[in-house]
Amino acid sequence: SEENPVVLDSIALRDITNNREIDLNSTENAGNGFYSIFNDNLVPEYKNEEINLLFKGFKEENLILEQEYKVGADCCHIYHVSGPLKIQLD
């Protein structure tokens, strides 16, 4: 089947472990249907930690997607622990 990425109007990322909003301050989430939830710019803040992260996706101000992830950072890079790398919306 042909895949058509869903372009969200906005996203929100929350560090559930420390109850903080995460702002990637980047153009990575440019509305092409592919979204970064964590990046190497966050290594200094999360060095040698693993956290639970909540991704929320909005379309026309309605919450249409909510997914939990576990991510971490070592000394230099971030990594994925758990949570789907691809989500299909019906």
What Cα–Cα distance (Å) separates residue 66 from each residue in 5, 22, 33, 51? 16, 15, 15, 16
Which one-letter DSSP state was computed for residue 37?
S
Beta bridge partners of 79: 72
pLDDT higher than threshold 60 for residue 1: no
**pLDDT average, residue stretch 76-81:** 95
Let me know: does 10 contact 62? Beta carbons within 8 Å.
no
**Per-residue pLDDT, 4:** 79
**Per-residue pLDDT, 28:** 60
**Per-residue pLDDT, 80:** 95
Let me know: does 62 contact 44? Beta carbons within 8 Å.
no
Q: Is 70 helix (H, G, I), strand (E, B) or coil?
A: strand
The model carries a pTM of: 0.84
Q: Which two tokens stand for residue 63?
A: 């919450």
Q: How confident is the model at residue 13 (pLDDT cuts 50, 70, 90)?
A: very high
Q: Where are the alpha helices (DSSP H) in the chain?
A: 43-46
**pLDDT average, residue stretch 12-16:** 95
pLDDT, tens only, 21-72:
998 765 566 567 888 889 999 999 999 999 999 999 999 999 999 999 999 9
